[in-house]
Structure 1
Amino acid sequence: MRQNINEQRHGSITPIKGAEVAENNRLTDEQTHLHKKIMKLAEKANSGDESVSVVLASPEAITTVLNGQLAEFPRILVAVVTDQYRICIGKFGDKPVYVSSNPELYKKINLVICDKKKSSNRFYLSTGNQINEFIVGESSNHTRTRIILISEYVNIANQNVGFQARMFDSFSTPFNEADIFTMSVRDANSFRVLTYGYIFELFPELQNLLARPIKDQDGGETFGHE
């Protein structure tokens, strides 16, 4: 088992509830099935199952369970881009991040990632009342959907860093998914260039915000993207 970025988590937050992940509003049979799946996965995440990660993001707050560990990060972004809309939510130090192409319809991101040892990983996504399931390596009937999750811990004084990114692109079959993790300062800087550069292409509004100095976890100054 790889060492997880959450071993350096800071603070505490309220455990997730399955009902928060998938809102039960007039669901079809297929949606009801997916809703039940997500409820079970949320329970697994709360019990510490390392195969499940959950992110509940809104402009007001972001709750994260990565690999079965409840965590709070000083830097975290979750983004979804489709042919119909794009939305990015998170925080960078004390700076909240929220961009939506249609704030009336797309105000939140609920994401569940289930890592499978003997079969393909699965992404469950809801940005409204609709729940979508994406299976890595399988062609999708949906329009193109890209999902990006970046989380990192930074302590410049102690040269202590953890960087993790999950990326999914439904049109990149059979290689839909990228999973990046490092605790090397040098590698983390390289991954930042790649991942944030990609984010800036999709959300140019974020460039000015994320380039300004922010505080690291011990109050020292660092930068939005190195």
Structure 2
Amino acid sequence: AYKALVVYTGRQNADLIQAAVSQHTVTAVQEAAAATADLVAQYRTQGMDAAGVLAAFQGGEAAASMRDETETPLSDAQLSAVADMVLLPQRRLTRTELVTVIGQQVAAGAANEQAIIQAIGSPIGFGSQTGNVRGVMAGARAMNLSPDDLARLAMLVRDGLREAAGDDLISRGYHPEQVHEFVGDIAALPGTIVVPQTTVVPSQQKDPK
């Protein structure tokens, strides 16, 4: 069960849920999950879409509502972890959107892919795509490419113009081997990536409970 939680909700959420079970019993966690599902059903009845439901949890409104209606012993961070388990929220990013975020984070001085993960609001990493994400980061940094540059290159790759993307960079004086590897990393990213999201707000992310 723990391994499944790690895969679908991230290690931090899995640790929070495991801690909640240890501290407050599995029944308390099950009750919190049921309360979460009930609250989501209420939101849906009110006409709230998936983005609105996620925003309600991220903004703390949902946790406050649950505390008003139930006497859960779980901490706010533990409640958010349970909500992630119940909702399994997701968003879809195109390759162009992802490399634009990568470019923005590189420009901001990001040292590794953790900044990208945080920027897109995901509780888990990139898995088998981690090497490609790092490659795009390294190439963008080495060639001093802007987010707009990366977006344009990704669109060329999307349109089947991978060679044109490489020629553009080579014409700027970059080594063909470096360019080939960099464009290959962009092309290796999925055209659309499904990114898990989290209801945990930044202030909760270091909650030890």
TM range (shorter): under 0.3
* Greater radius of gyration (CA): 2
Larger proportion of strand: 1
Larger proportion of helix: 2
TM-score norm. by structure 1 comes to 0.24
TM-score norm. by structure 2 comes to 0.26
Asked which structure has the greater RCO (Cα within 8 Å, sep 6+), the reply is 2
